[in-house]
Amino acid sequence: MKILAVAEQRENKFKKPAFEVVHTARKIADQTGGEAIALVIGSQIQSMAAELGGYGAHRIIAVDEPRLEKYSSTAYSKVIAEIAKKEQASVVLIAATAMGKDCAPRAAVKLDAGIGSECIALKTEGSDITATRPVYGGKALTDIKINSAIKVFTLRPNVFASGDSSENKAEVEKAEIPLAESDFSSVTVETLQASEKLDVAEADIVVSGGRGLKAAENFKMVEELANTLGGAVGASRAVVDAGWRPHSEQVGQTGKTVSPTLYIAIAISGAIQHLAGMSSSKYIVAINKDKDAPIFQAADYGIVADAFEIVPALTRELKKITGK
Amino acid sequence: MKLAVCINHVPDTAAKINISADGKNIDKTGVNFVFNPYDEYAVEECLRLKEKNGGEVIAVSLGSDANKETLRKALAMGVDKAVLLKDDSPRDSFSVARALADYLKEISPDVIFFGKQSVDSDSAVVGVMVAEMLGLPSVSVAVKLEISNGSAVVEREIEGGKEKIRTSLPAVFTAQKGLNEPRYPSLKGIMAAKSKPIEEKIPAAVQPKVDVIALRKPASKSAGKIVGTDIGAVPELVRLLHEEAKVV
């Protein structure tokens, strides 16, 4: 069985989900006696592609041409589908990132393949794969099997292990996929990066604030705590709807689903739609003055007290450890 | 300009989800179904495009008679026509996309809108699949859209920022929260919607490519530990995070 892992790069850098996808492909290959093939799409990416050997790729294919420098859903999905066909891959793994979620459904249609999106577990039995994915915003999980010849899975970032880079090496093979003008009917003209700010969905530590903080300016203490921990700031829906924080920070069913190692919920009561988006975090800390707040049911550690008193003290105490 | 918007009827995000006896579906008893939140942004954007450029807005929904409630709300918001692709059979993303694509091909809109995902299956793939099936470009998770001279410039949300995409038309877009502020239906709109017809069509049966083996609740955590009720608990919390959880 051949497993094609699409290793996403942006501005010629890999982010962690690329390694997670390659490492997962290798694991499936080891279990099935198959081959893990990493695919990198971009411009001038041949040398960086070699790094994927360390994460377990048996082979690395680079589709390298100037027009692929920036993301295009139409062109990237064509490259993925053409390489999958050429290599006769039976499984295609793509990270469930903004880019991956945009091009995977297209590639699936081109391959006449079923798709399981935002998977959080893949279980192999023989050549059979059962995928687990959250539904209803994380209030339920579903186990699925794909019955088409080719199977496409997108993997939720931060859930699958990326492994540590090893001594394993693989040659980078250059592949040409002929692309017509019409394959670039949608193209990225500009990337507007907000800042070097860590995205709440990618962060290992998330500090979120809720309506109990009373005003937008009181998020300063949430930011300070997040900075001390090297984490990202999140927000509840109430706070985003009130315009205190941007929607990109919203955690919950109509925001982002996060599964960091540590999630600190400050003055968040824990509405069901919020819990759905963060309850898969490894450790949850709740700080709320209402002892009956549902957030305490989801938390590993709780402090029942006023956030305005606790949070600055917590930041000070943590600084002793982090040295920041 | 012909605008189509695909909308879904889903459990309210405030609803508790229970599993039905067959272990593969949700128990719908007592569950309130609503307009899929992201689809409201999609409808609003189509209405604004129509107000600016003229034309008509057609709302399409695939599902049972229950979906008529959401189609009615779309009519009340101001869409011109509502179409129910009536089908009760279980479908996966692929077969949903196929049914919608078959219908959309018949009416060939200039702009097709979806919400970025349905908050039931959370797959976030149908809109883009429909685009591919129709041979059209697409931009998903749109937070800003400008259309002029047969092309569109769209901002979509990415990790830690946005990217600006240029695409030719016709095209498919999926709406993210923040794209606009959806209007409330006016009383006049609500009254008018009551008498507007909802066209019904039967989509072709399509074999799903994904089989559901089980639907289950995530393992519930045992309630955690209350470390304390005042500022004195802070050093102990830090110790637990550092020594027990080893996360800081």
What was the ipTM of the complex prediction?
0.95
Chain A residue with CA closest to B170: the answer is A185
Query: What is the identity of the amino acid at A274?
Result: H
Cβ pairs bridging A and B (under 8 Å): 283
CB contact under 8 A, A105 and B125: yes
CA of B109 to nearest chain A CA: how many angstroms apart? 17
Closest residue by Cα to residue A219 from A192, A196, A242, A194: A242
Q: Is A30 on the interface with B (CB under 8 A)?
A: no
Minimal CA separation from B37 to chain A, in Å:
8
Task: Please report residues of A whose CB lies closer than 8 A to that of B241.
Answer: 262, 283, 285, 301
User: A294 — contact with chain B (CB < 8 Å)?
Assistant: no
Domain annotation for chain A: domains and CATH numbers: 2-184 (3.40.50.620), 205-322 (3.40.50.1220)
Rg (CA), chain B: 22
Phi, psi (rounded to 5 degrees) for B245 = -80, -25
Both tokens of B223, joined, read: 């309630």
A315 in contact with B at a CB cutoff of 8 Å? no
CATH superfamily, domain at B2-201: HUPs (3.40.50.620)
Give the gap in angstroms from C-alpha A171 to the nearest C-alpha of chain B: 30
Compute and round to an integer the Cα radius of gyration of chain A. 21
What pLDDT, on the 0 to 100 scale, is given for residue A189?
95
Q: Does residue A182 sit at the B interface (CB-CB below 8 Å)?
A: no
Which pLDDT value is given to residue A323?
79
Q: Where are the domains of chain B?
A: 2-201
In degrees, rounded to 5, the angle at the alpha carbon of residue A55 between the alpha carbons of residues A53 and A61 is 40
CA angle at A212 for the pair A210 and A216, rounded to the nearest 5°: 70
Contact state of A188 with B211 under an 8 Å Cβ cutoff: no
Give the pLDDT of chain A (324 residues) as one tens digit per residue. 999 999 999 999 998 999 999 999 999 999 999 999 999 999 999 999 999 999 999 999 999 999 999 999 999 999 999 999 999 999 999 999 999 999 999 999 999 999 999 999 999 998 899 999 999 999 999 999 999 999 999 999 988 999 888 888 899 999 999 999 999 999 999 998 766 678 898 899 999 999 999 999 999 999 999 999 999 999 999 999 999 999 999 999 999 999 899 999 999 999 999 999 999 899 999 999 999 999 999 999 999 999 999 999 999 999 999 876
What's the pTM value of the predicted model, to 2 decimals? 0.94
Q: Which residues of A touch B97 (CB under 8 A)?
A: 105, 109
Identify residue B98 by its one-letter amino acid code.
R
| Residue numbers in chain B where pLDDT is lower than 50 | none
pLDDT of residue A158: 86
Q: What is the pLDDT of residue B219?
A: 85
DSSP string for A26-61: HHHHHHHT-EEEEEEEESS-HHHHGGGGGGT-SEEE
Digit-coded pLDDT (tens) for A67-113: 999 999 999 999 999 999 999 999 999 999 999 999 999 999 999 99
Exposure of A218 in the CB half-sphere (CA atoms within 13 A):
16
Inter-chain residue contact A117 with B125, CB threshold 8 Å: yes
Answer whether A269 touches B (CB < 8 Å).
Answer: no
Q: Do residues A281 and A253 lie in contact, with contact meaning Cβ atoms separated by under 8 Å? A: no
Q: Which pLDDT value is given to residue A168?
A: 85
pLDDT of residue A163: 87
Residue-wise DSSP of B48-113: HHHHHH--EEEEEEEE-GGGHHHHHHHHHHT-SEEEEEE--S---HHHHHHHHHHHHHHH--SEEE
pLDDT at residue A70, as a whole number: 95
Closest CA to B80 of B127, B46, B30: B46
Question: What local confidence, expressed as pLDDT, does residue B149 receive?
Answer: 87
Residue to mutate among A9, A14, A73, with most B CBs inside 10 A, is A73
Closest to A276 measured CA to CA, from A293, A262, A257, A294: A257
